[in-house]
Amino acid sequence: MAFRTVVIGNDARIRVHSRQLLVEQDETLAIPAEDIAVLVLEHPRIRVSCASLSLLTSQGVAVVTCDDEHMPTGILLPYCQHSRQLSAVRKQLAASKPLKKRLWQRIVRSKIENQALCLEDLERDGASRLREYKSAVTSGDTTHVEAAAARYYFPRLMPGITRHSGQGPDAALDYGYAIVRAAIARYLVGYGLYPPFGIHHDGQLNAFNLADDLLEPFRPMVDRRVITDGIDASTIEGRRELVALLHEPCMLVGQLRTVLTAIDSAAQSVVRALYRKDDAQLLLPVLVDATTHARDRMVE
């Protein structure tokens, strides 16, 4: 099983030898491609051979490209990797509107609960109000409780700073979300699903609507890490901390998992929910408290 997240932040040449990825810088590092879940290419002068890209996609690696400011701009994913992709996509396209509405209700409630846990962990008020929002989420969130909860949550998460203002932790949040989104897209494709067709998100120009659906409950994990550690996404150290989030703990059905393995299980559970037409099959993560986070930080 893939378990490594690799970030290349300097000028490098990447090629293949004996089914291993060779990263040539001052020294040459050999990495088994099957060990990599996400590869982040940050430097504008990284040269990647076609054979390397072919090997990476054949192993299901999500390759993330970045712009001159190191912000993720694209994801390369495998093509038709799953043996039963047509069956999975047919189930995805055939999902009824009531099922998708119930799935979205479950996702929104999970997201708001994790936002409440995040505020509690940061010792900020507002968690009880967020749980009131959570209990008010209806099937399909037709009353837009998710948006109302976000308007309440972010001023408490980032006092004095407006989200999307370009100030404070904005860049770090965006970078962290993009890395988790890439990992989610990788596992969705691996289970035969087609990311442009979402449960709730349906942007015409968005190739990752389904990944954006599943991303929602994971966002507060990025939020907590960015705010707790004061991460600066303009530094390579800060970006590496955000990538390392994939290997930190969260809870899933009462068990401690890394975020990466929780993403794997959540993506697989989407398939079960679609095949069984049962939203209860959907498995979503729960933010762990700071004590557990510090004691059980997982690095695979």
Number of domains the chain contains: 2
User: What percentage of residues in the chain have a pLDDT greater than 70?
Assistant: 94
Do 110 and 163 belong to one domain?
yes
Model confidence at 299, pLDDT cuts 50, 70, 90, reads very low
Indicate the residue among 44, 76, 108 that finishes a domain: 76
* Mean pLDDT of all residues in 285-290: 86
The confidence score (pLDDT) of residue 80 equals: 57
Burial class (CB in 10 A: 0-12, 13-18, 19+), 232: middle
Task: State the residue range of the domain holding 175.
Answer: 85-295
Sign of CA dihedral 101, 103, 107, 112: positive
Do 152 and 248 belong to one domain?
yes
**Of 42, 63, 26, 47, whose CA–CA distance to 235 is shortest?**
42
Q: What is the pLDDT of residues 201-211, one digit of tens each?
A: 999 989 899 99
Model confidence at 185, pLDDT cuts 50, 70, 90, reads very high
> What are the distances in angstroms from CA 75 to CA 33, 87, 140, 281?
17, 24, 29, 28
Q: Which amino acid is at 57?
A: T
> Has residue 183 got a pLDDT over 80?
yes
Tell me whether residue 300 is in a domain: no
Do 203 and 152 belong to one domain?
yes
> Has residue 290 got a pLDDT over 60?
no
Mean pLDDT, the chain, rounded, equals: 90
pTM: 0.87
Tell me whether residue 277 is in a domain: yes
Whole-angstrom Cα distance, residue 119 to residue 181?
Answer: 22
* Mean pLDDT of all residues in 270-288: 96
